[in-house]
A and B are shown apart, each in its own frame.
Chain A
Amino acid sequence: MVIVSVSVSVLILLSVQQLREDAKRSFSNALSGVDLIVGPRGSATELMLYSVFQIGRPSRNMGYEGYTALAQLPQVQWAVPIQLGDSYLGHPVLGSTPALFTRFKSQGQGLQWAQGRAFADPLSTPEALSEVVLGAEVAKRFGHKLNDKLVLTHGQSSGLGTEHEDHPMTVVGILAPTGAPIDRSVIVSLQAFEAIHVGWGMGISPSAFKAAGGAQQPLDIKDLQPSSLSAVWVGLHNRAEVFSVRRKIESLERGQLMAVMPGVALDELWQIVKVVENTLLLVGMLVAISAMFSVAAVLLVAMAGRRKELAILRAMGAAPSALMGFVLLESLLVCVVGIVAGYVLCQAMLVAGQGVLRTEFGVLVQAGWPAAQAWWALAGLCGVALVASWVPAWRAYRLSLSDGLHPPSV
């Protein structure tokens, strides 16, 4: 019982620790393989939030020329444009190119297809304008299958008259879960993103214009090149050049662009949530410490029942100090066994829960030796265990002295 209570608290402490580490790593690696994220000059944090996590929305866009210009830089291996702004039942719509599906990496893993395929390049296949790819979570949440038709919403509200009902989209592919924010996204081609907005002005549906007698031209795919983008993901031939390329990009377009390194920016972002993180750690610590002392309390209570045992050992010539050492060792052993059991349990749970954690919470956990900080926490626990063990040990010492050969008969 005592061991169980210790191990549970160690479990809590270690899982908090582990999840914290892994959450941080998952966070930092949410977008891997991308060397630079380019967007309009402004807040790097904001750029990260909307381009990687689709949280918030761009306050302004960058010019499309910036994208073409940076894509032509010799050091740039690839550049994937990102267009944001629309949503589907609360999920962000991401406009991009088919290259996204081959370039995107999360936790170092590329995208896998659960069903179907990527949308085609609209420049060669016009049908691609109504093709849409769903992230795993979107598909699961709304139960979408291939060939389902869906209507996107203009902006992030879902108010009346802001549906793109004149442009129903067909699901052609569903992505396998990655744990990255892309699971929650709906992905269309840049041109499709543009096409559904043709005729829109000031956020008003074109049907309003139609009613007013406005005529719609048949769409020419060449004309569907957007004039501006939310962000561009850039991959380099050589990562070592990231600083010089960054300077180069930021000097393009009269200095209107900003390039950030996702890893660095994500770490900065993480600093913001550090308070929460530290609170969790503190709670875990307190739980563990209180568990240690409850161990001491339990052993202390058990001591009453063990007075006979102490008297027997005493009768056989054991000195009170020896009995004290005996109880000390025992309490310590209980604590240490509890700690080890908690650790093993924690790792076992991590291994068992790995899949669920990744797909449901986007946290990729790694079972293995605890991080340096966890070692400190464990060492601290052993220290507390040692202190806590003295309590029953001292009691044993006092009892064995006062009881002598005569334990109170129970």
Chain B
Amino acid sequence: MTHALKLSQLSHAWGNAPPLFDIAQLVLLQGENLFIQGPSGCGKSTLLGMLAGVIEVSHGQLEVLGQDMAGLSSVGRDRLRGEHMGVIFQQFNLLPYLDVQANVLLPTRMFPSRALAAAKEWGDAQAQALHLIQTLGLPQSVWHQPVNQLSVGQQQRVAAVRALMGSPRLLIADEPTSALDEANQLEFLDLLLDTARRQAASVVMVSHNPQLAHRFDQVFAMPLRGHA
């Protein structure tokens, strides 16, 4: 089994400030899910940025999908993210001036390998998109709707559809449920995890809400500052 993530002695500090976090060891197998928990300000988002390849690794080792992140150029990291990862934010995931269709098909348009992966399994990218829309409980009628006509919950689902397009191997989600109300949170999460599992994708999710943790294969609590 390959590793989706492999961290050792990873620490990060902004400028000359004391290290934000220092993680001795963390390993995630491909296909398994990881819940990263911790209060705000503990460096969750920075860690996520490093996993996604947006923030450079300065100290320690980080392997994502078998690639040594420290050894990749920024363009190489952008490429890895574009081709093999999906990212979901807390809110504002969609480009407001595009409709659902254009938003959802964006990753497959930006990276031919994503389009290829979608085509391999579904015939073409649109077929996969329509399938995902159905799987995530959206009506087919949203397809041509402008995204600002959708409810927040629907927008999050569309964001999930987009992140899953072209079957990425790693899904990175930053508080994807906090904009949703209590009842919708679990439902959305279950759908997301379920769909990701069927695509054999690992999900790494960050949240301050420990109630969601039990749905994941692995839970990692961010070391508190000064305790590392």
Contact = CB atoms under 8 A, between A and B. Distances in A.
Contacts of B55: 404
Interface stretch (B33-41, B62-70, B73-81, B130-138): B73-81
A317 B54 contact: no
B81 to A, nearest CB: 5
Interface residues of A, number: 18
B92 A314 contact: no
Given A405-B174, A406-B49, A318 B82 contact: yes
A316 interface: yes
Interface of A: 308-309, 311-321, 404-407, 409
B10 interface: no
A310 to B, nearest CB: 11
Given A404-B55, A405-B89, A309 B75 contact: no
Contacts of A405: 45, 48-49, 52, 54, 87, 89, 174
Given A308-B92, A405-B54, A315 B81 contact: yes
A290 B90 CA distance: 40
B36 to A, nearest CB: 14
B110 to A, nearest CB: 6
B220 interface: no
23 contacts: A309-B95, A312-B93, A313-B95, A315-B81, A315-B87, A316-B81, A316-B107, A316-B110, A317-B78, A317-B83, A317-B107, A318-B82, A318-B110, A319-B74, A320-B74, A404-B49, A404-B52, A404-B54, A405-B52, A405-B54, A406-B174, A407-B92, A409-B91
A312 B91 contact: no
Nearest to A400: B54
A37 to B, nearest CB: 65
Nearest to A322: B78
B80 to A, nearest CB: 8
Contacts of B54: 314, 404-405
Given A312-B94, A404-B49, A406-B45, A317 B89 contact: no
A23 B8 CA distance: 78
Contacts of B96: 309
A409 B45 CA distance: 13
A321 B73 CA distance: 13
B106 interface: yes
Given A404-B55, A405-B89, A319 B78 contact: yes
Given A315-B81, A315-B87, 16 more contacts: A309-B95, A309-B96, A316-B82, A317-B110, A317-B111, A319-B74, A319-B75, A321-B75, A404-B52, A404-B54, A404-B55, A405-B45, A405-B48, A405-B174, A406-B45, A406-B174
A320 B111 CA distance: 16
Nearest to A407: B92
Given A405-B87, A405-B174, A315 B52 contact: yes
Contacts of A311: 89
B87 A316 contact: yes
Which of B52, B78, B80, B110 is the most central at the interface, judged by chain A CB atoms within 10 Å of its CB?
Answer: B78
Nearest to A319: B78
Contact of B79 (A313, A317, A321, A404): A317
Nearest to A404: B54
Contacts of A317: 78-83, 85, 107, 110-111
Contacts of A407: 92
Interface string B87-119: 101111111100000000011001100000000
Contacts of A404: 49, 52, 54-55
A309 B95 CA distance: 6
Contacts of B81: 315-317
A404 B89 CA distance: 12
Nearest to A308: B92
B101 to A, nearest CB: 16
Contacts of B78: 314, 317-319
